[in-house]
Amino acid sequence: MADEQRRRRLDPATAAIRLRVREAVGKFGLAHPLVAVSGGADSMSLAAAVQFLARTGALHASYAVIDHGLQAQSAEVTALVVERLRAGGCAEVVSRRVRVGSRGGREAAAREARYAGLRALRSELGCDAILVAHTRDDQAETVLLNLSRGAGAAGLSGLHVRRGEVIRPLLAVSRAQTVASCAAQGIPVWHDPMNDDPAFTRVRIRTRVLPMLERELGPGYAASLARAAGHLAADERYLAERAAEAASELIDRGSEGLSLPVAPLLELPEAIRHRVLRLAMEELGGAPRSAHIDALDALLAPGRGGRRISLPGAVALREGGTMRLLRRSHP
């Protein structure tokens, strides 16, 4: 009877979050996930849901708090979040200070450092996956951000529920639900002031663009963007698989870089060809945007022999029936 009363008192937001986490655990066969926690409502509600499952014996979990060192009180905030997790019953809580570089801007560099730290901790602790607390709102922001950069289907498919060892169980949950869940459970949260800094494009999308779209086009616009991203993600998975198969057949690797035969590339559907070109650039360590892929594709056209173009981390040459992508160290 007591169990039934507790279930009846469970607030809808917490119930929805626990359901999504339970589904992810079952779908991906998780036994020992590493939960990334920043101290905000999204990650604290995720940690609470995982800890609830851990109490039932469904899994063993570890919790990681990454200190980016970007703010004066970052060490104190990290210690506070660790303390709150332990007070909430999370047994294995670790923290790590990471060094944030400058490549790609502060936001991108912090993200790169954060995931590098999480991956290192996952390996050290023997965890089978990393759980992060991106929500439906994050998905909508990502789609708009990528749209502003002229992204194709890959960018517009947004965040994926799973990519490698990273799993996002809350992509179907709204930010309002994570806030409501923490409030209902009495979970204290920390608000990162960087989330209000309009110097970051994502913050402007969150605080200005999305509210305007919701106001002008109707409530639920963010949810619609997230649904559209989900539909595109299925298409993108199929196209990515076909492109990987084509790349394995066409890319010839050498000491100076890569080479690809022009004629077979031109026979591919444009959607596959562009992805093969992107894979080739990424293999050389580049981070190509749509304009770079368009430039490479133009180099395949008849009459382009002898041309060369400069790309991030590489130089592309057209030599007769071959396109060569050379690392910068071999101009």
**pLDDT tens, residue by residue, 142-190:** 999 988 887 778 888 999 999 999 999 999 999 999 999 999 999 999 9
Tokens of 123: 């390996």
Which spans in 251-325 are helix H?
262-267, 270-283, 290-299
The residue among 37, 212, 207 whose CA lies nearest residue 132 is 37
Q: pLDDT tens digit string along 271-288?
A: 999 999 999 988 888 778
Burial of 196 (0-12, 13-18, 19+ CB in 10 A): exposed
Measured from the Cβ of residue 179, the count of other Cβ atoms closer than 10 Å reads 17
Question: Do 130 and 36 contact (CB within 8 A), yes or no?
Answer: yes
How does pLDDT run across 248-270, given as a tens digit for each residue?
A: 999 999 888 899 999 999 999 99
Domain 251-327 part of CATH 3.30.2270.10 = no
CA distance 240 to 276: 9
Contacts with 118 (C-beta within 8 Å, 6 or more apart), sequence order: 34, 36, 64, 66, 130
4, pLDDT greater than 50:
no
**Distances, alpha carbon 176 to alpha carbons 41, 49, 179, 260, in Å:** 9, 16, 5, 49
| pLDDT-based confidence at residue 2 (cuts at 50, 70, 90) | very low
pLDDT per residue over 293-331, tens digit each? 999 999 998 876 668 888 887 899 898 899 999 987 644
Name the residue ranges covered by the structural domains of the chain: 2-229, 251-327
Superfamily (CATH) of domain 2-229: HUPs (3.40.50.620)
What pLDDT sits at residue 304? 67
Going across the sheet that includes 252-253, the strands are: 252-253, 257-261, 322-327, 314-319, 308-311
pLDDT value at 123 more than 90: yes
Q: Which pair of structure tokens corresponds to residue 270? A: 């444009």
